[in-house]
Amino acid sequence: MLKAQRTILLSLIAAAGLAVSPLAISHLNDKEMPQSYRQSYFALIAMNFGPMTAMVKGEMPWDEQQMAAYADQLAALVTLDVLRGFPDGSDKGTTRAKPAIWEDKADFQSKMDDLKTAVNALQRVANQGTDRKAIAAEVAATGKTCKACHDDYKSKDYLY
């Protein structure tokens, strides 16, 4: 993003009275492109998966079509190559990605593959429509693959 664009964006955010810290816009940091790539990627994942878990928990009305649409979008997202966002040397900066990722990329990739497998199963069942129990089970199974990776590779707070 150009500096001028960023300034406009920041002043718009400020004008809207929203609290803003530099970390809150780190997705757009052109000095840390790999970090921005992966954080934006996971933000998209979460923005599709979040409403699905909210429906399962009853925090949002259950909508079959929306459920299927979110599952389709999640399935599209897991086809992207997220390892592009983790090149050597991108372990520092504004990030919650633990250094362990770069010590065992194969394990990290296999945890990504687990997410992919779970999301594909979720997409199938969500598009069949009516079996809420089955859909809820696949949402839970997908959530476990997020947690499995985060437990090993994502810190709660920014690291540097």
- Within 68-127, the residues that bind ligand HEC by CB under 6 A are 95-97, 108, 111-112, 115
CB closer to ligand HEC out of 97 and 126: 97
* Sequence-distant (≥ 6) Cβ neighbours of residue 138 within 8 angstroms: 118, 121, 122, 125, 126
Distances from the Cα of 24 to the Cα of 17, 58, 67, 94, 111, angstroms:
14, 29, 28, 10, 27
Rounded to the nearest whole angstrom, what is the least distance from the CB of residue 85 to ligand HEC in the complex?
7
- Structure tokens, 117: 């497998």
Rounded to the nearest whole angstrom, what is the least distance from the CB of residue 84 to ligand HEC in the complex?
13
Span of 4-12, 14-22, 56-64, 145-153 interacting with ligand HEC by CB under 6 A: 145-153
Rounded to the nearest whole angstrom, what is the least distance from the CB of residue 132 to ligand HEC in the complex?
19
CA distance 92 to 98: 9
Given a contact cutoff of 8 angstroms between Cβ atoms, the answer to whether 138 and 126 are in contact is: yes
- Does residue 150 interact with ligand HEC by CB under 6 A? yes
- Within 4-63, the residues that bind ligand HEC by CB under 6 A are 35, 38-39, 42-43, 45-46, 49
Q: Which of 55, 67, 125, 149 binds ligand HEC (CB under 6 A)?
A: 149
Task: Please report, as a single letter, which amino acid is at residue 58.
Answer: G
- Give the residue from 34, 19, 94, 93 showing the smallest Cα distance to 10: 19
CA distance 96 to 115: 19
Q: Which residues bind ligand HEC (CB under 6 A)?
A: 35, 38-39, 42-43, 45-46, 49, 95-97, 108, 111-112, 115, 142, 145-146, 149-150, 153-154
